Homo-oligomer: A and B are copies of this chain.
Amino acid sequence: MVVKSQLKFINSLQQKKYRTQHGLFVAEGVKLVSELLSSDFGVYGVYTTSPETLPSHEKIIQVSKVDLAKMSGLKTPNTVLGVFYIPEDSSTIPHNWSVALDDVRDPGNLGTIIRLCDWFNISQVVCSPNTVDCYNPKVLQASMGSIARVKIVYIDLEKFIADSKLSVYGAFMGGKPVYREKFPEKGILLMGNEGKGISQNLEALVHQKISIPQFGKKTTESLNVATATAILLNEIRRD
C-alpha cells in the first residue's frame, strides 16, 4: 500500500527539476530495475505488481496495477518501477578511456553511448553540464541497464580535460582518418553536439582531430553522434 501523496511524489520524478531537488530517479522495467538492484545504486523503493520477477530485497513493495500506473511515466506501465538515489558526483577515473560529451541533447543518443561504453569497457562518460540528464527516462530506456555499470559525471569539460592530463581525441569532419591512428592505453574521446559539433573552447584543447572516412558521395553531411561513437570506440579497442 502506497499513500496518494507518495504516488504523486514518485510521478513527479519524471521531471529533472524534482529529480535534482530530491536526489532520486525512477527506473521502469524488470531488467533495468534488477540490474540497478544488484549495482551500487542506493535503493529508495521498488514497487511492483509481481515481486516474484525480482531478486528479493527488503525495499520491494507489492502494489496494485492502478497505483503503479499513477507512479509511472509510461503510457503502458511496466510491472516494476524502482526509485533509486542519484549518486553524488565524485572524482573521475583517469586510468582508462573516457568518453566526453559536449552538449549531446538527444536522450536516445546518450543512452546508446552509455550502452556502447559498457560494451567496450569504457569506465566513464563525462558530460558537459548542458548534456541531457542521464536519469531522463528515455536515456535509461536506451541505455538498457548499462547505466548500472558505467560511471556518469556532469562537469566543466575544460577543467576535466586540463586536470586529466590525458590525450584528447576529438571527432571532427576532415580530421585525420581514424584508421591511421594508433591509440594509447588511456585517453579521452570527445564527441560534440548533434547540430553544432564540438565548441570552439574545447576544440582548442583537442590534441588530435580524428574522423571516420566517408565512402559514399560527399553529399552525406555526417553520421549521427551515437553511430560515430560506436565506430570510434571500436577503432580504439580493436588496435
Q: What residues make up the interface of A, taking CB atoms closer than 8 Å to B?
A: 35, 108, 112, 115-122, 142, 144-146, 149, 179, 212-217, 219-221, 223-224, 226-228, 230-231, 234-235, 237-238
Contact = CB atoms under 8 A, between A and B. Distances in A.
A231 B214 CA distance: 14
Contact of A230 (B145, B146, B231): B231
Nearest to A148: B219
8 contacts: A116-B227, A119-B215, A121-B217, A122-B216, A145-B219, A149-B216, A227-B227, A231-B234
Contacts of A149: 216-217, 219-220
Given A108-B108, A234-B231, A220 B115 contact: yes
| Chain A interface, DSSP helix/strand/loop, else mixed | helix
A113 to B, nearest CB: 9
For the complex formed by this chain, how many copies does it contain in all?
2
Given A115-B224, A121-B216, A226-B226, 17 more contacts: A35-B219, A108-B108, A112-B224, A118-B217, A119-B216, A121-B217, A122-B216, A142-B224, A144-B220, A146-B220, A149-B217, A149-B219, A223-B230, A227-B227, A230-B230, A234-B234, A234-B235
